[in-house]
């Protein structure tokens, strides 16, 4: 977990980024809409551990996606990297499972717990069994508030960590521009999701009382689902980029998977410096495009005020204005 006390960014891409890439839209009751009927087939039991298992089972797939067509230095083979990567992630999941069993309130287990509450509500609604649903919705709402706040803080700390990684490196300023655009787009997406929380909860409560149907929420849930797909691609691309940097800046496979000081330098990419710069460029454009989609979506919902700079800290606003207008 990111703590901003690390000396470098080693191992960021396989633990912290995994947390930020968990689909945020899945925090909402998207399972209620027809398109998500596969959720009905989900095995009952401990939902939290089921979710962890799903993520764990999807590991090889994620690893392959991250490493797909990635040029590797001669000192590494793809199989070697994936194997070691899976061992590392599996041990991370072991730790999370333990935390859940020990009921430790880490940000990851909190996130999983929120999804658990959401799924319980979805199951009850789907099966028209409304016993104790009020209490569940209340707890879910509370968890949701907390989880959005925690993830936002967490992402801000990752943003700082990446800035420190950049400051301590010989990477070009385009790297800073790229991660900043990606993470800030992601933070704005979270803000948008948060702004949708109250109307969705209201609909959920009304639905239960029989006064309306969940169909009122359906269009926005479908749109969030679509945005989530793009957001996942965005975070996957960020993981891919960071992993690429880690690989080319590590001298050996052991260096790659142990916490060691790494001197990140564009020269370490050898013949792939151009590839690196192109990847930065592509990701920056993709992040910008995603950000525009989120803004358009919030405009559609008449919630564009949430992004206003006017809502920000006075010091930041003055700084921006002074910088822009200094001549």
Q: For binding to another protein (CB under 8 A), which residues are involved?
A: 4-5, 7, 156, 159-161, 163-164, 166-168, 173, 176-177, 180-181, 184-185, 188, 288, 291-292, 295-296, 299, 304-305, 307-309, 312, 315-327
Q: How far is the CB of 229 from another protein (least distance, A)?
A: 21
CA atoms within 13 A on the CB side of 132: 6
User: From the CB of residue 52, how many other CB atoms can be counted at a distance below 10 Å?
Assistant: 19
- Give the whole-angstrom CA distance, residue 147 versus residue 142: 9
Q: How far is the CB of 124 from another protein (least distance, A)?
A: 38
Q: How far is the CB of 136 from another protein (least distance, A)?
A: 35
Nearer to another protein, 4 or 213 (CB): 4
Kindly report the backbone phi and psi dihedral angles of residue 168, in degrees, each rounded to the nearest multiple of 5, phi listed first.
-90, 10
Nearer to another protein, 152 or 184 (CB): 184
Kindly report the backbone phi and psi dihedral angles of residue 265, in degrees, each rounded to the nearest multiple of 5, phi listed first.
-145, 135
Nearer to another protein, 208 or 291 (CB): 291
Nearer to another protein, 44 or 322 (CB): 322
CA atoms within 13 A on the CB side of 213: 4
**Strand, coil or helix: what is 170?**
strand
The residue among 266, 235, 260 whose CA lies nearest residue 166 is: 266
Nearer to another protein, 130 or 320 (CB): 320
- Give the whole-angstrom CA distance, residue 243 versus residue 9: 11
Q: How far is the CB of 151 from another protein (least distance, A)?
A: 17
Distances (CA, A) of 140 to 23, 66, 89, 143, 264: 17, 33, 28, 5, 42
Residue tagged 């991370």 (tokens):
92
Nearer to another protein, 103 or 308 (CB): 308
């Amino acid at each position: 977990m990111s703590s901003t006390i690390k000396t470098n960014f080693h191992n960021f891409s396989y633990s912290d980024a995994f947390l930020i890439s968990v689909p945020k839209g899945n925090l909402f009751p998207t399972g209620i809409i027809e398109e998500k009927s596969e959720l009905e087939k989900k095995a009952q039991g401990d939902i939290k551990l089921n979710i962890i298992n799903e993520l764990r089972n999807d590991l090889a797939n994620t690893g392959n996606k991250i490493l797909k067509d990635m040029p590797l230095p001669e000192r590494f083979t793809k199989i070697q990297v994936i194997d070691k990567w899976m061992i590392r992630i599996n041990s991370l999941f072991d730790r999370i499972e333990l935390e859940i069993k020990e009921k430790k309130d880490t940000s990851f287990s909190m996130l999983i717990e929120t999804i658990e509450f959401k799924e319980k509500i979805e199951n009850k609604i789907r099966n028209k069994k409304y016993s104790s649903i009020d209490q569940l919705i209340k707890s879910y709402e509370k968890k949701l508030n907390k989880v959005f706040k925690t993830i936002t803080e967490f992402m801000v700390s990752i943003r700082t960590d990446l800035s420190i990684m950049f400051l301590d490196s010989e990477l070009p300023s385009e790297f800073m521009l790229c991660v900043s655009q990606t993470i800030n787009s992601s933070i704005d997406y979270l803000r948008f999701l948060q702004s949708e929380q109250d109307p969705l909860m209201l609909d959920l409560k009304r639905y239960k009382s029989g006064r309306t149907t969940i169909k009122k929420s359906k269009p926005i849930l479908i749109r969030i689902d679509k945005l989530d797909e793009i957001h996942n691609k965005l975070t996957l691309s960020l993981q891919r980029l960071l992993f690429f940097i880690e690989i080319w800046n590590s001298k050996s496979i052991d260096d790659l998977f142990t916490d060691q000081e790494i001197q990140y330098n564009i020269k370490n990419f050898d013949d792939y410096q151009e590839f690196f710069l192109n990847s930065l460029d592509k990701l920056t454009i993709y992040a910008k495009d995603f950000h525009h989609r989120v803004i358009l979506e919030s405009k559609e919902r008449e919630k564009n005020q949430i992004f206003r700079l006017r809502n920000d800290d006075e010091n930041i606003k003055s700084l921006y204005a002074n910088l822009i207008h200094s001549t």
